[in-house]
């Protein structure tokens, strides 16, 4: 049985460590994360939710019925909003936001440090990650930046909202910039930017595992 809204999920059966659910939308993102289940030291699953907020919310809610104690991390590609961002930059959300509300994230500082160690030389941005139901470009990108967001994607806010609705748990969102104000998807160089983002996404799993391990430690 799933936990009621706002209540802590039940303890994992048999005292096993709480699992980690990594949620992404696209097949190419799932491909970049292949091997996560074998590489982790604890129970980990990678869920491909499908594209868009509604698909993400449904898929995560369904997955947590089967694994109600899981920590949830949303990942994949995103649109960078700040001038100077480049494909392959990493974004760590301190909160996700969309018209339905805001969800604070867990362990942002731990993730920033772990990602810097996992992908040396990669630029890591931290700040609000905003949700959209479509690809953002041009003036809309600038408006979202003016509202304080550092990046936008279609699934993270819905993913984390579904996660906390199913019970109190660690939640986080880490995205890799695939396009940015000076490097929009419609421009020449998109393929090169996509390859850079894919390579970075392949390299981040150790940081995800470190965040998961840290989130399970008792707080003092």
* Buried-state track 119-149, b at ≥16 Cβ within 10 A, e below 16: beebebbbbbbbbbeeebeeeebeebbeeeb
Which architecture characterizes domain 19-216 according to CATH?
3-Layer(aba) Sandwich (3.40)
Mean pLDDT, residues 106-135: 94
Given a cut of 80, is residue 61 above it in pLDDT?
Answer: yes
Given a cut of 90, is residue 187 above it in pLDDT?
Answer: no
Given a cut of 50, is residue 3 above it in pLDDT?
Answer: no
Q: What's the pLDDT score for residue 10?
A: 45
Per DSSP (E only), the strands in the chain are: 20-24, 44-48, 71-80, 90-98, 101-104, 124-131, 151-153, 171-179
Q: What sign for the dihedral angle of Cα 188, 192, 193, 198?
A: positive
Given a cut of 90, is residue 182 above it in pLDDT?
Answer: no
Q: What's the pLDDT score for residue 183?
A: 58
Given a contact cutoff of 8 angstroms between Cβ atoms, the answer to whether 47 and 63 are in contact is: yes
The three-point CA angle 92-98-101 to 5° equals: 100
pTM here is 0.86
Given a cut of 90, is residue 91 above it in pLDDT?
Answer: yes
* Every domain of the chain and the residues it spans: 19-216
Q: What's the pLDDT score for residue 38?
A: 76
pLDDT grade for 2, boundaries at 50, 70 and 90:
very low
Closest to 125 measured CA to CA, from 174, 179, 59, 161: 174
Q: What's the pLDDT score for residue 14?
A: 47
Greater pLDDT, 40 or 201: 201
CA-CA distances (angstroms) from residue 196 to 33, 35, 111, 127, 172? Answer: 15, 20, 20, 22, 22
Mean pLDDT value across the chain: 86
User: Could you report the per-residue pLDDT of 152-181, keeping only the tens digit for each?
Assistant: 999 999 999 999 999 999 999 999 999 876
* Other residues' Cβ atoms within 10 Å of the Cβ of residue 101: 10
Mean pLDDT, residues 48-57: 96
Given a contact cutoff of 8 angstroms between Cβ atoms, the answer to whether 128 and 105 are in contact is: no
* Buried-state track 24-59, b at ≥16 Cβ within 10 A, e below 16: bbeeebbebbeebeeebeebbbbbbbeebbebbbeb
User: Could you report the per-residue pLDDT of 127-143, keeping only the tens digit for each?
Assistant: 999 999 887 877 788 89
Closest to 98 measured CA to CA, from 54, 61, 41: 54
Greater pLDDT, 196 or 194: 196
DSSP state of 180: B
């Amino acid at each position: 049985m799933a936990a009621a809204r706002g209540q802590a999920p039940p303890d994992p059966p048999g005292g096993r460590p709480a699992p980690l659910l990594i949620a992404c939308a696209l097949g190419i993102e799932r491909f970049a994360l292949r091997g996560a289940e074998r590489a982790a030291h604890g129970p980990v699953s990678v869920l491909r939710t499908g594209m868009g907020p509604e698909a993400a919310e449904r898929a995560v809610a369904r997955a947590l019925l089967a694994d109600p104690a899981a920590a949830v991390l949303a990942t994949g590609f995103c649109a960078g909003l700040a001038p100077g961002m480049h494909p392959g930059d990493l974004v760590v959300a301190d909160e996700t936001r969309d018209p339905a509300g805001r969800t604070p994230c867990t362990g942002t500082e731990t993730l920033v440090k772990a990602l810097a160690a996992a992908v040396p030389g990669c630029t890591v941005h931290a700040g609000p990650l905003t949700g959209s139901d479509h690809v953002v470009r041009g003036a809309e990108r600038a408006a979202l930046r003016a509202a304080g967001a550092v990046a936008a994607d279609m699934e993270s806010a819905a993913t984390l909202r579904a996660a906390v609705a199913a019970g109190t748990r660690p939640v986080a969102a880490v995205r890799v910039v695939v396009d940015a104000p000076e490097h929009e998807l419609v421009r020449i160089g998109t393929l090169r930017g996509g390859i850079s983002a894919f390579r970075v996404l392949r390299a981040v799993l150790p940081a995800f595992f470190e965040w998961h391990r840290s989130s399970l430690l008792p707080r003092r």
